[in-house]
């Protein structure tokens, strides 16, 4: 997240620089309403750094929880219905100390990650494979669309019936949620791969396999890795919903059983841990993307990004 | 000048594409010869199928009928024997300049160490040393097109197929790259087929110009260009340049009038 905001803010700065250095002749047409250009204040410049933004973000979180706590203490909110930060913290500490929270988190995370890996891998490979044959692709397209239009969560009861109430059913649910997303994204990206690059390789006498390896795979990677971000979320949904329906462990189990006991503080602990896990996994993928696609990270100095 | 041998001969090439109301004929019995070490430009009204000719020669499209003879041997297409260059530089964004240049050698299965050496040598010949590890995104349009030219030349193709390679560049860069191209063609003894809409460029660079008619396309005429100067700027200042230019313009203009009528 931090890197993204950094990029946009830098881009905005460049675009400002470009505007101010644009030739005088283009100015009247470009800027009919000549707005006075205000230099960012010293405070704004100091705040727009990684540290500055971090402080502001932390402050925002602190204010949110303080207001929540204050409202509960003042009696504007009932702790029974919304919980309270102090209570959430107590539950968090207690469940960390007795080891139940780490175990629940571990279950959910492993279910989601294994489901993500299997679903994404199988889906991406199948999607890329469809590039090989336009005939097969056209043949299976209506089936893919039909299966994809079923809300996968509706499959959960069947998945539990088939795969039991244990670990496997949660992984299966995560796979069912991620596989088709991966397949469609990979196939779409493979279809959008530049036909001229493929023609160039063909003119060099390259085989279809060679074109697949040298053009299709690298040019679909950005879309496929972009899809990872969506799928890691879907995998967590699959794991948690599986746990809602029937389970002995996991964050979904924690949230579901606590909410049926009106133990809102415990529900919040589960939700915040889930949020943290999703956040972490998102950044793992972000990191992987920068490693795998170094050529995507380059922005030329003159490039304007609005 | 003794007539050099025919390198590639197109004979009665026909090609049509499926359209709404049945097949649309694009090439209608196209025949012309390309000599060894020739520099042929193909010009014609827009939409006359210049790029289709190009794709047929490259072996990317199969003609409906007609034959291509390469050095006395009938071939379906010249896959692997041609260097292919388009208006788009077609550099692979995920490859560095060096890796882009090495692409053709990789396809040919040249030993990696040797390919690296050759690529470095070409890059320094064409003044791109120091940019080996840059990604195409970081280069200017002219540098990108130069990289594409190196990638084409390094494969040592029998024929260079150029489809409006410089038309996206500004005029100075284009003049410069035309010079680079002419020098390279002289040095490496290449045959060039240049598809262009730019009569000026065709006259300045070519030994011969093939004029195509309207669709369905046949060869309208072939003009020999006899300019002495072998540099793009020198050729443009040759007194005969404007005669050739007028003649070719005339050929194309008549067609536009016919179309309007």
DSSP single-letter state for residue B217? B
Interface test with B, best of A200, A218, A292 (most B CBs within 10 A): A200
Q: CB contact, 8 Å: A215 with chain B?
A: yes
Which residues in chain B touch residue A202, judged by CB atoms under 8 angstroms apart?
A: 59-60, 79
A5 pLDDT more than 80: no
DSSP single-letter state for residue A302? T
Alpha helices by DSSP H, chain B: 50-58, 97-101, 103-108, 112-125, 141-154, 171-188, 199-205, 232-237, 241-260
In a domain, A5, yes or no: no
Please judge whether A205 and B93 are an interchain contact, meaning their C-beta atoms are less than 8 angstroms apart. Answer: no
In a domain, A52, yes or no: no
Which residues in chain A touch residue B155, judged by CB atoms under 8 angstroms apart?
A: 204
In a domain, B152, yes or no: no
Which residues in chain A touch residue B137, judged by CB atoms under 8 angstroms apart?
A: 295, 298, 300
How does A57-66 read in b/e, with b if 16+ C-beta sit within 10 Å?
A: eeeeeeeeee
**Total domain count for chain A?**
1
In a domain, B179, yes or no: no
A3 pLDDT more than 90: no
User: For the domain that residue B7 is a member of, what is the CATH number?
Assistant: 3.40.50.300
Residues A123 and A140: their CA atoms lie apart, in Å, by 14
Please judge whether A204 and B94 are an interchain contact, meaning their C-beta atoms are less than 8 angstroms apart. Answer: no
Please say whether the beta carbons of A175 and A119 come within 8 A.
yes
Centroid of chain to Cα B45: 17
Looking at the partner chain, which of B59, B107, B135 has a beta carbon nearest the beta carbon of A295? B135
A306 pLDDT more than 80: no
Residues B259 and A134: their CA atoms lie apart, in Å, by 39
**Total domain count for chain B?**
1
Centroid of chain to Cα A175: 16
In a domain, B50, yes or no: yes
Residue B1: the pLDDT is 43
Residues A269 and A276: their CA atoms lie apart, in Å, by 11
Q: CB contact, 8 Å: B135 with chain A?
A: yes
A9 pLDDT more than 80: no
CA distance A216 to chain B (A): 11
DSSP single-letter state for residue A155? G
Query: Which chain A residue's Cα is nearest to B105?
Result: A204
Q: Which domain holds residue B38?
A: 1-81+191-261
Residue A303: the pLDDT is 55
Q: Which residues of chain B have pLDDT under 50?
A: 1-2, 260-261
Q: Express as a percent the part of chain A with pLDDT over 90.
A: 58
In a domain, B96, yes or no: no
In a domain, A147, yes or no: yes
Helices (H) and strands (E) in chain A, counts: 15, 0
pLDDT in tens, B5-57: 888 888 888 888 888 888 888 888 888 888 888 899 998 887 778 888 888 88
A36 pLDDT more than 80: no
A20 pLDDT more than 70: no
Average pLDDT value for residue range A171-194:
93
In a domain, A171, yes or no: yes
Residue A105: the pLDDT is 95
Q: Which domain holds residue A111?
A: 88-292
Interface test with A, best of B107, B115, B162, B195 (most A CBs within 10 A): B107
Question: What is the Rg, in whole angstroms, of the alpha carbon atoms belonging to chain A?
Answer: 25
User: For the domain that residue A153 is a member of, what is the CATH number?
Assistant: 1.10.3720.10
Q: Is the peptide bond before A21 cis (omega within 30 degrees of 0)?
A: no
Which residues in chain B touch residue A215, judged by CB atoms under 8 angstroms apart?
A: 92
Residue A302: the pLDDT is 54
In a domain, B19, yes or no: yes
């Amino acid at each position: 997240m931090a890197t993204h905001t950094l990029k946009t803010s830098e881009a905005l700065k460049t675009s400002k620089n470009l505007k101010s250095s644009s030739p005088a002749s283009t100015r009247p047409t470009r800027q009919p309403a000549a707005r006075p250009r205000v230099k960012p204040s010293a405070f704004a410049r100091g705040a727009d750094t990684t540290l500055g933004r971090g402080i502001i973000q932390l402050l925002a979180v602190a204010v949110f929880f303080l207001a929540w706590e204050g409202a509960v203490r003042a009696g504007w909110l009932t702790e029974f219905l919304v919980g309270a930060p102090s209570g959430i913290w107590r539950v968090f500490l207690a469940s960390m100390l007795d080891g139940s929270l780490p175990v629940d988190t571990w279950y959910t995370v492993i279910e989601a990650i294994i489901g993500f890996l299997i679903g994404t891998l199988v889906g991406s490979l199948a999607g890329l494979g469809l590039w090989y044959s336009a005939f097969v692709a056209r043949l299976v397209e209506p089936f893919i669309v039909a299966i994809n239009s079923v809300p996968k969560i509706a499959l959960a009861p069947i998945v539990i019936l088939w795969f039991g109430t244990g670990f496997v059913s949660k992984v299966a649910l995560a796979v069912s949620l991620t596989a088709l997303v991966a397949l469609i994204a990979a196939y779409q990206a493979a279809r959008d791969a530049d036909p001229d690059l493929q023609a160039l390789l063909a003119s060099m006498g390259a085989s279809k396999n060679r074109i697949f390896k040298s053009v299709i795979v690298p040019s679909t990677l950005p879309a496929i890795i972009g899809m990872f971000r969506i799928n890691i979320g879907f995998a967590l949904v699959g794991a948690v919903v599986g746990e809602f329906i029937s389970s002995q462990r996991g964050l979904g189990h924690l949230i579901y059983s606590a909410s049926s006991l009106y133990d809102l503080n415990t529900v919040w602990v589960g939700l915040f841990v889930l949020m943290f896990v999703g956040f972490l996994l998102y950044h793992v993928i972000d990191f992987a993307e920068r490693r795998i696609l170094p050529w995507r990270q380059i922005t030329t100095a003159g490039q304007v990004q609005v | 000048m003794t007539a050099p041998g025919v390198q590639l001969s197109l004979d009665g090439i026909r090609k049509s594409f499926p359209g709404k109301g049945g097949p649309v004929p694009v090439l209608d019995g196209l025949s012309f010869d390309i000599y060894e070490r020739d520099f042929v430009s193909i010009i014609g009204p827009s939409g006359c199928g210049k790029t289709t000719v190009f794709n047929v020669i490259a072996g990317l499209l199969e003609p409906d009928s007609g034959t291509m003879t390469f050095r006395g041997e009938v071939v379906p297409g010249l896959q692997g024997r041609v260097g292919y260059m388009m208006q788009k530089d077609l550099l692979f964004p995920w490859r560095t300049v060096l890796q882009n240049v090495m692409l053709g050698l990789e396809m040919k299965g040249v030993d990696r160490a040797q390919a690296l050496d050759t690529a470095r040598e070409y890059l320094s010949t064409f003044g791109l040393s120091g940019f080996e590890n840059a990604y195409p995104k970081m280069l200017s349009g002219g540098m990108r097109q130069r990289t594409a030219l190196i990638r084409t030349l390094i494969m040592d193709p029998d024929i260079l197929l150029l489809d409006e390679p410089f038309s996206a560049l500004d005029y100075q860069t284009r003049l410069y790259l035309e010079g680079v191209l002419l020098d390279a063609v002289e040095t490496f003894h290449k045959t060039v087929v240049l598809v262009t809409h730019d009569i000026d460029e065709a006259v300045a660079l070519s030994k011969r110009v093939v004029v195509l008619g309207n669709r369905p396309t046949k060869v309208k005429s072939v003009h020999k260009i006899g300019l002495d100067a072998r540099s793009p700027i020198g050729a443009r200042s040759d007194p005969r340049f404007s005669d050739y230019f007028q003649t070719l313009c005339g050929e194309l203009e008549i067609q536009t009038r016919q179309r309007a009528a």
